[in-house]
Structure 1
Amino acid sequence: YDKIVMGIPFFGHNGDKEVDFNEIVFDGYEKKWDDVAKVPYLTKNGQMVLTYDDALSVELKAQYVKDKDLRGAMYWNIEADDANWTLSKAIAGVLLDWKDPSAPQEEAFLATNSYVQKYMEEVNYPCTNNPDTDKEYSYSSVIGYPGGGPSENDVEIPPTYTITWTPASGSQTLRVSEGDWSREYTLSAGVGKQDITNLVPGVTYKWQVTAGGSIVESGQFETRGLLHQVYFAPNVRNGRDLGGYKGLGGKTVVYRKLYRGGAIHGSRTSSAGKKEMLAEGIRAEVDLREASDVPSSSPLGSSVAFYAPGFDSGYNHMVRDNPDKVRDTFSWVVARLREGKPVYFHCAAGRDRTATLAILLEGALGVSESDMAKDYELTYFSPTDWGMSSIKDDNGKVIGYEYKHVRTTYSFKSVRKTIFEKTDTGTYQERIVKYLLQIGVPQKDIDDLRSIMLK
């Protein structure tokens, strides 16, 4: 692929005749869109009269160049572009991340909840290689932020962006895309808006509405934030993407590959919620709950790969007492990533067993100790049943709740303590890799995880 240069035409075809882009006459013709070839064309009286490329179609071609790691793109020829350099700018925007300074700039939409964003921006924990965990883990900052728990503020539910357009009179299709991800919505006549959620931060989303094969309206919007939060109706909570953190060599953990969260069984998810999970791109599920609680297959359907190792609890029960299951789970996740199947892993609340696997994956990717702790503490922003632990009296009656899932508690520190005890030297991340190799995880699995997840 790295020797292939894609050629992009700045002209259209009217039968055997070539027509430069800057010579195309649109008045009197109907513009339509071929969603297989991903190009527009013009018709008159129901007959196709011209096929060509516009800004959207050349952007899609340029994105293909990036996605497939081709050597680059060329176009023929620049003199055929219009006076506004429409096609040239579209290609440069994708391949060179160029932004037109003369274009009106809409403020990027905050895709992360504002309370969570503030925590992510302001907190930075020390990262030292000292086995004295009490010294390094003597405080937590997350409790000072407005969050979930008894307040039930739905802080872990991501914000919603609303796309609006002038509606068509017939049935409409809205296509939203970002990179190699896309989703289509079928909408009734007269509908002129659609809410979009579970947005990835720091990217540009493009959208296009078509009706009867004609383009009704198109546009784009940018997002910002530090966490890709996900929520699936009605109660798949405590969900987030492991992407966005810095890893080995200053590379970034990619989005839409590894997700963590709470359980998706039974009433936790509806048919609409399952549809959202599949639209997100999730194609593999790891259920970390005890064997007696797990189903035989994924509730998302037969198209989703499913694995249930059976852990009774998290932390040391996993890393100290069940290394073989940890090894097999880690390797299963990497195998699914090799197949191009994004993985959603969970236990019941998404905080203990889920957090343990997240620590091992993040450590192997070289995510900082501070970011590992912050990812763990994000559970604080979830409602009571996900973010808090119950306090019981001598008779087993629940008399209150408390936050235990912060970096100062025995739970998070216990994994670190065990990793340090089982390895001799190195940073926490290096020791996690040594631990994984000790329990039998192949070096190739670690290498492939990094190759797939770090860009």
Structure 2
Amino acid sequence: MPAHKRIVEVEGLQNCRDLGGYHTRDGKHVVKYKHIYRSDNVGDVTPEGKKMLLEKLWLKYIIDFRGAEEKARSPYAFAGVTYFPIPIETCFITEHVLTKPSLDGPSAEALLRRISTTFLIDFKDVYKNFFDVFLREAKGQPVLFHCTAGKDRTGVAAALLLTALDVPAEAVMEDFMLTNRCCVPPSCETVRVGNCIISKDAVNILFRAQAFFLELCFGEVCKRYGSVNAYMEKELGLGVEQLEKLRSYYVRPTSSSS
């Protein structure tokens, strides 16, 4: 995998990234490095990787979007790190897949498009709790948030957070799609989930970040609320005061070296 300034090499993880370095829309501020991390399943981290998270990334808080079965398969605990389970159960995909004998590429894309149109409505309470951790608990200390692949649940969280920090939409999408530099879909011709046979084309769609997923997530809230910011204010509790506080914790002037 080619090196990238935001990809953090942590043993056991494939998709760990620092959200620092993105500039705000006015160009006068930048998201702080070593303060916000997104990743795939932290339960897969090795002892050496765990040491890096604690001693080099100064991790203090973890937000876990995994569902109950995912956590049971891969539990973990870090001494000195405060843990917040805020689950989005994977049934939002598997319940659709398990009702079909097979899934091809067009059907997989249609499935993701259908899910994306209500994703931020269905899980608004999850993402409100996500921001509450940053505002009420972490208050500027380092936070890592993750699911299993670090792709959709985590990717949407990162997109909302960067938007709240006033990062432009182009950079928000760049971050969302960077997952595809980190994660490689299974190389097998098909994958079985229950009794459903998933084709290689469908695997490539489901196991990679898709720009249309984020576009439709944000597009739907724009239709319903007028803008993503209006959605965040009404449903996530992010008014002017909360946004200013969040930015004071995680954004610095470009002239500052901290």
User: Scaled by the length of structure 2, what TM-score is found?
Assistant: 0.75
Identity value in percent: 22
Letter of the structure 1 residue corresponding to residue 233 of structure 2: L
Deviation at 1:302, TM superposition (A): 2.9
Indicate the residue corresponding to 1:31 in structure 2. none
Residues 261 and 346, structure 1, Cα contact 8 Å, conserved in 2: yes
Q: Which digits, 9 at most, give the CA deviation of each residue in 1:247-274, with x for residues without a partner?
A: 1432111111110110111xx1111110
Matched, 1:306 2:107: no
Indicate the residue corresponding to 1:274 in structure 2. 50
Change in CA separation of 1:264 and 1:334 when aligned onto 2, cut-off 3 Å: same
Deviation at 1:231, TM superposition (A): 2.1
Matched, 1:353 2:150: no
Residues 391 and 398, structure 1, Cα contact 8 Å, conserved in 2: yes
Gaps of 5+ in 1: 1-153, 159-225, 425-430
Secondary structure of the 1:238 match is coil
- Give distance in 1, aligned partners of 2:87 and 2:194: 29
Structure with bigger RCO (C-alpha 8 Å, 6+ apart)? 2
Deviation at 1:451, TM superposition (A): 1.0
* Structure with the higher helix share, 1 or 2: 2
- Give distance in 1, aligned partners of 2:118 and 2:151: 14
Indicate the residue corresponding to 2:222 in structure 1. 420
Indicate the residue corresponding to 2:232 in structure 1. 436
- Give distance in 2, aligned partners of 1:292 and 1:343: 24
- Give distance in 1, aligned partners of 2:146 and 2:152: 9
Change in CA separation of 1:439 and 1:248 when aligned onto 2, cut-off 3 Å: same
Letter of the structure 2 residue corresponding to residue 362 of structure 1: L
Deviation at 1:385, TM superposition (A): 4.6
- Give distance in 1, aligned partners of 2:36 and 2:193: 38
Matched, 1:228 2:14: no
Residues 294 and 308, structure 1, Cα contact 8 Å, conserved in 2: no
Secondary structure of the 1:344 match is strand
Indicate the residue corresponding to 1:255 in structure 2. 33
Residues 18 and 33, structure 2, Cα contact 8 Å, conserved in 1: yes
- Give distance in 1, aligned partners of 2:219 and 2:16: 26
Indicate the residue corresponding to 2:170 in structure 1. 370
Gaps of 5+ in 2: 93-115, 253-258
Among 125, 129, 136, the residue aligned to 1:328: 129
Pair member with larger Rg: 1
Deviation at 1:312, TM superposition (A): 1.8
- Give distance in 2, aligned partners of 1:346 and 1:433: 23
Deviation at 1:293, TM superposition (A): 2.7
- Give distance in 1, aligned partners of 2:165 and 2:37: 15
Among 16, 19, 30, the residue aligned to 1:239: 16
- Give distance in 2, aligned partners of 1:370 and 1:412: 12
Letter of the structure 2 residue corresponding to residue 423 of structure 1: Y
Change in CA separation of 1:432 and 1:227 when aligned onto 2, cut-off 3 Å: farther
- Give distance in 2, aligned partners of 1:284 and 1:432: 26
Deviation at 1:288, TM superposition (A): 0.5
Deviation at 1:292, TM superposition (A): 3.5
Letter of the structure 1 residue corresponding to residue 48 of structure 2: A
Matched residue pairs, number?
A: 219
User: Scaled by the length of structure 1, what TM-score is found?
Assistant: 0.44
Residues 336 and 343, structure 1, Cα contact 8 Å, conserved in 2: no
Deviation at 1:332, TM superposition (A): 1.2
**Cα RMSD (Å):** 2.8
Letter of the structure 2 residue corresponding to residue 441 of structure 1: G
Letter of the structure 2 residue corresponding to residue 360 of structure 1: L
Change in CA separation of 1:257 and 1:408 when aligned onto 2, cut-off 3 Å: closer
Deviation at 1:281, TM superposition (A): 1.0
